[in-house]
Every structure is written in C-alpha cells, then in structure tokens.
C-alpha cells in the first residue's frame, strides 16, 4: 500500500512538471502571434513617429527613418525587433532585438531606450497593482459571501448594489469623484500620487479607484458560485448530518465556491499589475500604464511592442499559475 501511494504521488509530480513545461512551451507560439499581430497593426495605422502639426522637412524624416531603421522592409524591421541578428542596409550584424534583451529606442523620449522607460516605471505600476489586488480580494470575497448567505435579503441587495455600481461606473468618473470629494472639497487626501515615495497616503485614492472594478467582479463571481454550491448534495448532506452552519460555510461551501473565483483572479491580477492608463494618467502615477495610450498616439513603435508583450506574457504566465493552483484547491482536477 505504502509503496503504491508513493509512486502515485511521484507520478503526480511528474504530471504537474510535464504539464507546466508543456504549457510554458505553448507560450512561445502565443507570444509570436501576439507580436506579429501587434507589429502589423501598428505599422498599418497611417501616420508615423515623425508626424507633426508643424511638418518636418523631408530630408529630416529620411534621416530619422534611416537612423532608427524605419526605412528597412517591414519584415526586416520585425526581425530586427526580435533579434538577435540586426539587418541594416543589406548587411547583417550582431546583436540586438528582444532576444538580446534590447527593446529598442523610444521615438518620443529620444534620449532614452525602451528598457530604461520600462525599468523606471514597472515597479511602481506593479506595486500599485498588487495593492489594489489585495484590496479587491480582501473586500470582494467577503462581499460576495455575505451576499450569497443573505440571498434575496438586505445584505444581498446591498452587496449587489455596491458591485453593480463598481462594475458600471467608468474608472475616470469614480477617480474624478474621489479626487473632488476627498482631495479638493474635504482636503483629507493628496489629489495625486506625485509624492508617493514620501507620503503613503498618496497611494490611497489611486488604490481605491483601481480596485473598485475588480472588487465588484470578485464579489459577483463569489456570490454566483456560492449560490451554486448551496444547492449541492454535499451541502444538503452536511446540513442533514447536523454540522454547524459556520463549518458548512467555511469548509464545504467557501472552499468549493472559490474554484471558479480563482479562474478570474489570474486575469484580474494581470490587468492590475500591468497598469491602468486612466488611473496613472489622472493620479499622475509615475508608472508604465499611462504609456499604453500615449505610445500609440505617438507611434512610439518600440514602446507599443514592449508594453503589448509585457501584457501578453503576464496574462499567459498568470493563467498558467491559476491552472496549477487548481490542483491544490480541487483534488478532482488532474493534469493531462
């Protein structure tokens, strides 16, 4: 018996390991397609990094294109972006591109590389995102559980009201309301995150604004999934065995109800740590989130690619993490 069990466990570990490796390998073609699609779309859009209201002389545009390799054929430009070989004016040199760890130059921040720009802002963005994630889970989960337990009663209506409000209010509306009420009228909190490194209160409004939507999302998933398990046989059995309500809720209901909730936590976390354009824009957070939109309007190709790939990698990795986590939460799930 003991020997058999051990082999089964070992077998399980091998399964998980090969599953993870297989999934990681799958990320490569996914990233390839994402990069090809982003690259083609971005070059299909009319206008370029040198479009100005006050037009540049043609010779200048030609020089700039030559300097940044934008005069190469589009396929060569893509290959140069991927690297590690670098094609220029028909000759091939080493090394550049993302495979050599070089995300390329920025056309807007002329003196800085995309590596520097991302490096400067990524920690701030992830820090803000993680805090908002913790807040979302800490508030969203209990809110959903309370709503489900008080199904069709006051707690349910109250929690549903809060989550509908959170889902349907655009971030820029809620952010502005928060600024006006707590920053300008009451004067309790800083209206922006400029002093975030010295004044922790500067984080409060952006975190609240960023977590309103995910709180609502988590709460609604939790509520729906709790309601579903309420009607399951094992819950009825537990009740009939005379087990206390608290134990039933914690051990039998919440644990099972969490499985579908975990599914959405991956994308929610990915969404939060890659940064929000609106939140960073309105609260002046020195992160990378606000570059998402400005890089596109500026046709800052290197930055657009880097941010899209960052988002794609984050989503892919977190989805994988979620899938692996499943097994620990729900022993019925097996990897194959």
Partner 1 sequence: MWFKKTMGVSMALMLLLAACQASASVSPGESAPASEAPAVPQVLRTALGTEPPSLDPNVATDSESIQVLRSITYPLVYFDVELNVVDGLATYEISDDGQTITFTLKEGYAYSDGQPIVAGDFAYSWRRLMDPRTASEYSYVLDYVVGGVELRNADPDVDDIDALVDAFGVEAPDDSTFIVHLAQPAAFFVYVATMWLTVPLREDMVFTEAEGYISSGPMMLTEWNHNANVVLEPNPNWGGEPVNLERIEMAVIADQAAALAAYEAGDIDITAPPAAEIARIEDDPELAPDVFRGNNLGIEYYAFDMKDPNGPFTRSANLRRAFHEAVDKDSMLQVAFGGVGLVANSVVPPGMPGHQDDVFLPFDLEQAQADFAAGLEDLGLASAADLHLQIGYNTGSTHESRVEFLQQQWRDAFGVEIEPVGMEFGTYLDRLSSDPFDIFRLGWSADFPHPQNFLNDLLGCGSGNNNSGYCNEEAQELMAQAAVSPALEDQVALYNQAQELIMADSPMMTMRWGSFFTLVKPWVQNLGITPLDSDAGEHFYAWTVIAPHD
Of 83, 84, 267, 286, the one binding partner 1 by CB under 8 A? 286
Cα 141 to Cα 261: distance, rounded to the nearest angstrom: 9
Binding part of the chain for partner 1, among 21-29, 62-70, 142-150, 221-229 by CB under 8 A, reads: 62-70
- Tell me the C-alpha distance between 45 and 47, whole Å: 7
Span interacting with partner 1, options 106-114, 139-147, 148-156, 224-232, rule CB under 8 A = 106-114
Closer to partner 1 by CB, 245 or 294: give it: 294
**How far apart are alpha carbons 224 and 205 in whole angstroms?**
29
What span, in angstroms and rounded, lies between the C-alpha atoms of 149 and 219?
Answer: 13
Stretch that binds partner 1, among 9-17, 72-80, 222-230, 274-282 (CB under 8 A): 274-282
Beta bridge partners of 91: 88
Q: Could you say which residues in the range 164-183 bind partner 1, by CB under 8 A?
A: 172-173, 176-177, 179-180, 183
Tell me which residue has tokens 């297989």.
22
Least distance to partner 1 from the beta carbon of 38, Å? 16
Tell which positions 201-260 bind partner 1, by CB under 8 A.
none
Complex with partner 1: residue 19 or 109, whichever CB lies closer: 109
Q: Which of 12, 24, 66, 201 binds partner 1 (CB under 8 A)?
A: 66
- End-to-end Cα spacing for the chain: 25
Candidate segments 23-31, 41-49, 74-82, 242-250, binder of partner 1 by CB under 8 A: 41-49
Does residue 108 touch partner 1 according to CB under 8 A? yes
Residues 132, 135, 141, 144, CA torsion sign: negative
Phi then psi for residue 333, to 5 deg, are -80, 130
Given a contact cutoff of 8 angstroms between Cβ atoms, the answer to whether 132 and 174 are in contact is no
Instruction: For residue 28, state whether it binds partner 1 (rule: CB under 8 A).
Output: no
Within 10 Å of residue 108's Cβ, how many Cβ atoms? 16
Q: Does 93 bind partner 1 (CB under 8 A)?
A: no
Containing H/E element for 85?
Answer: strand 85-88
User: Looking at beta carbons only, is 252 or 290 nearer to partner 1?
Assistant: 290
Strand partners, 94: 85
The residue range among 24-32, 75-83, 110-118, 306-314 that interacts with partner 1, by the rule CB under 8 A, is: 110-118
How many C-beta atoms surround the C-beta of residue 234 within 10 A?
12
Confirm or reject binding of residue 41 to partner 1 (CB under 8 A): no
Going by the DSSP 8-state scheme, the letter that residue 181 receives in this structure is I
**Binding interface with partner 1 (CB under 8 A):** 45-48, 50-60, 62-64, 66-67, 89, 108-112, 116-117, 120-121, 172-173, 176-177, 179-180, 183-187, 190-192, 194, 278, 281-284, 286-287, 290, 293-294, 297-299
């Amino acid at each position: 018996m003991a020997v058999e069990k051990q082999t089964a466990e070992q077998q399980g570990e091998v399964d998980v390991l090969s599953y993870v490796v297989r999934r990681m390998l799958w990320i490569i073609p996914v990233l390839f397609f994402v990069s090809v699609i982003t690259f083609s779309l971005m070059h299909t859009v009319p206008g370029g990094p040198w479009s100005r209201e006050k037009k540049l002389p043609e010779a200048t545009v030609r020089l700039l294109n030559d300097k940044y390799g934008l005069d190469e054929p589009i396929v060569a430009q893509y290959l140069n972006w991927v690297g590690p070989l670098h094609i220029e004016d028909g000759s091939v040199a080493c090394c550049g591109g993302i495979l050599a760890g070089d995300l390329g130059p920025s056309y807007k921040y002329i003196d800085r590389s995309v590596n520097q720009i991302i490096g400067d802002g990524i920690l701030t963005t992830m820090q803000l995102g993680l805090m908002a994630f913790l807040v979302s889970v800490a508030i969203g989960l209990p809110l959903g559980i309370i709503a489900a337990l008080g199904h069709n009663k006051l707690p349910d209506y109250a929690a549903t009201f809060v989550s509908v409000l959170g889902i349907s209010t655009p971030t820029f509306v809620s952010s502005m309301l928060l600024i006006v009420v707590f920053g300008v009228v009451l004067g309790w909190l800083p209206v922006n995150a400029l002093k975030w490194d010295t004044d922790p209160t500067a984080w409060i409004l952006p975190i609240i604004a960023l977590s309103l939507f995910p709180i609502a999302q988590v709460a609604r998933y939790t509520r729906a999934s709790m309601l579903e398990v309420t009607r399951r046989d094992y819950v009825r059995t537990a009740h009939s065995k005379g087990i206390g309500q608290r134990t039933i809720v914690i051990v039998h209901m919440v644990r099972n109800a969490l499985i579908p909730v975990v599914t959405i936590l991956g994308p929610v976390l990915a969404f939060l740590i890659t940064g929000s354009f609106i939140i960073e824009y309105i609260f002046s957070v020195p992160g990378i989130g606000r570059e998402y939109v400005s890089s596109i309007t500026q046709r800052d190709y290197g930055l657009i690619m880097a941010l899209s790939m960052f988002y794609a990698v984050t989503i892919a990795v977190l989805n994988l993490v979620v899938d692996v986590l499943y097994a620990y939460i729900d022993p019925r799930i097996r990897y194959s």
